[in-house]
Amino acid sequence: MSFLKGGREKDHPKEERANFRVMYGYVRPHRFLLATAGALSLATSASSLVLPLVVRDLIADLSSHRGIATLILAMCGLVVATAALGTLGNYVLRRGAESIVLSARNRLVDRLLRLTIGALDRSEPGDLISRVTADATLLRDAIASAFVGATTGVLTVLATLALMGFVDPLLLLVSWGAMTCAGILVALVAPKVGKATELAQAAVGEMGAGLERTLGALRTVKASGAEPRVAIKVHAAASDSWRSNVRAAKWEALILNGAVVAVQGAFLVVLAVGGAQVAAGKISIGTLIAFLLYVSFLMSPITQLIIAITSYQIGTAAVARIQWAERLPVEQLELDEPAADPGHPASVEFDHVHFGYRPELPEVHHGVTFTVPPGGMTAFVGPSGAGKTTVFSLIERFYEPNSGQILINGRNIKDWPLSTLRSAIGYVEQDAPVLSGTLRENLVFGAPGATAEEVNEAVRITRLTDLVERMPDGLETEVGHRGTRLSGGERQRVAIARALLRRPRLLLLDEATSQLDAINEAALRETVADVAQLITVLVVAHRLSTVTLANRIIVMDAGCIQATGTHAELVAANPLYAELAATQFLAADAIAR
């Protein structure tokens, strides 16, 4: 299995300290709730530790034929108090742990939503989702056990040992050897649990990434008959996770059962030595029974300590994966910035822009330079791979140019707060994505404050009126996952209406008519022409019929600007554009005939 990013090669003290600081960072806002849970846990242990002393006195009173009613009532009270305190403590601990998970998930979700597009391109969405879900759950269990369980477990063990020494120091020394063996076993085996869990979580992330990719293209998978091949890959990741989890379970079982054997060994040794002392008259039978009860009670805090240590190792694996996601680069959104003033068209200028998606890949833009004045429609045409869509991605600052500058209204876009810049732009992607939810929710997604009149006007302009009337619940109709209840052309028109509702100063349309029939394309051309009289419209188009009426057409090829002009000028002067036009219009004429 390819080990996904975010893992660690080996443990060392600096890394452990860093992991501890990170985990405490999640605990700190909820420390008082966890402290309360710890206090209740200690109170539960304290009431349990008093019980053997009461039993010792009870046996002594029975031997002396004294009354035992008070001691029996005390024992019943201790049992009830232990149960009540334990129940309350477990609830408070679980509540605190769940609060930690909620905080961690919210923090990570906020981070992922602000990821740069470049960071997202280099990641697997399914794996990122697993860090929010599965890894955050592991973090909950680890923190609850490590910070509360370890503290109360250590204090309870120390208190138990102190009381054992108070009851009989010799028997304490006899049982100490077995306890030491259990501690050595934990120290040796616990790190193996963390490593195995880290591998398991990486496999879960890989499995989630594979499923996300598959479900996102399920029609293609089915049409290609590729279900068995895809299933094999996902099953392989699931098997890797299973093997790593089984390995972790093996080490956990070894630790826990080793501790059980140690305590049972101590019990037997104490029983033998203590029995000999009772027979010799050196201690009473009540003392021996009380000491044996303490040895038995040791099992609970020792188990608690072991779980805390193994959970901490598991938590460090979760922390490593969550921290990797939190270190991904994000955009800095200045949410307090005012929105751009709508209604005024924007100018756009590229000044010797060079850009490549990754350092190891060839550049997509090679010194791109052009100027678009305010207002009107400007079209970008050229063969596939010319860099047309990249122009829009750079304007939206989804990526930053390697060199050169991009100006909106004469101001470098790097100087614009992102929220202000994007509030001035309406953007229709090539795929025209539609989100799950109602038609109205999709329309107002970028303009949640839009009025009913504004929504109706956008519907009218984009020729969606017939669609709304056909829908069983009108604008409140659910459109299905990714808009599956809409046709490709309807999704495009919904995306355009959504962009127009933002009242942008600059409208970017990337292949916005590619899925429209001839009638709707002609209607949308008229709409775009009307909009271009009010704001600046930039269009990327492969179908030249969409842009023949553009105020200016920019021809791109291989990341460079070939020519700029009107349709008539370019047909006469630019061979590339003339070839594109001749090919498309001749093909259209042939189809018409």
Is the dihedral angle over the CA atoms 432, 434, 435, 440 positive or is it negative? positive
What letter represents residue 393's amino acid?
S
Among residues 345, 362, 355, 360, which one has the least CA distance to residue 424?
Answer: 345
C-alpha 49/C-alpha 372 separation (Å) is: 82
Confidence of residue 369 (pLDDT cuts 50, 70, 90): very high
- DSSP symbols for 449-510: T--HHHHHHHHHHTT-HHHHHHSTTGGG-B--GGGTTS-HHHHHHHHHHHHHTT--SEEEEE
Average pLDDT, integer, range 139-147: 71
In the structure encoding, which two tokens stand for residue 412, read together?
Answer: 């470098």
In the structure encoding, which two tokens stand for residue 283, read together?
Answer: 């201690």
3-class state of residue 5 by DSSP? coil
Tell whether the model's pLDDT for residue 434 goes beyond 90.
no
What's the pLDDT score for residue 538? 92
Confidence of residue 201 (pLDDT cuts 50, 70, 90): low
Residue 169: CB atoms within 10 A of its CB come to 10
Check residue 376 and give left, alpha or beta (phi > 0: left; psi -120 to 50: alpha).
left
Phi, psi of 382 (to 5 degrees): 150, 170
Tell whether the model's pLDDT for residue 199 goes beyond 50.
yes
List, in order, residues 6 or more apart from 232 with CB less than 8 Å away.
none
Phi, psi of 404 (to 5 degrees): 85, 180
In percent, the amount of the chain with pLDDT more than 70 equals 83
Q: Go through the chain and tell me how many residues it has.
A: 593
In the structure encoding, which two tokens stand for residue 265, read together?
Answer: 């060994």
Point out the least confidently predicted range of 59-73, 415-429, 469-483, 504-518.
Answer: 59-73
Residue 398: CB atoms within 10 A of its CB come to 16
Pairing of strands 411-412, 403-408: antiparallel
At CA 47, angle to CA 45 and CA 52, rounded to 5? 100
Tell whether the model's pLDDT for residue 339 goes beyond 60.
no
At CA 179, angle to CA 163 and CA 277, rounded to 5? 60
Alpha helices in 337-417 (DSSP H): 388-395
3-class state of residue 116 by DSSP? coil
CA-to-CA dists, residue 80 to 44, 53, 87, 294, angstroms: 10, 17, 11, 19
C-alpha 537/C-alpha 372 separation (Å) is: 10
Tell whether the model's pLDDT for residue 119 goes beyond 70.
yes
Contact predicate 486/434, CB 8 Å: yes
The DSSP code for 338 is P
Tell whether the model's pLDDT for residue 354 goes beyond 90.
yes
Residues 468-479 as b or e (16 or more Cβ within 10 Å = b): beebeeebebeb
Full-model pTM:
0.69
Contact predicate 130/105, CB 8 Å: no
Among residues 335, 307, 319, which one has the least CA distance to residue 153?
Answer: 307
Confidence of residue 592 (pLDDT cuts 50, 70, 90): very low
Alpha helices in 217-284 (DSSP H): 218-223, 227-279
- In the chain the domains, ranked by start, together with CATH numbers, are 13-326 (1.20.1560.10), 345-424+505-593 (3.40.50.300), 430-503 (3.40.50.300)
Residue 296: CB atoms within 10 A of its CB come to 14
Tell whether the model's pLDDT for residue 480 goes beyond 80.
no
Tell whether the model's pLDDT for residue 164 goes beyond 80.
no
Average pLDDT, integer, range 252-278: 74
Tell whether the model's pLDDT for residue 72 goes beyond 70.
yes
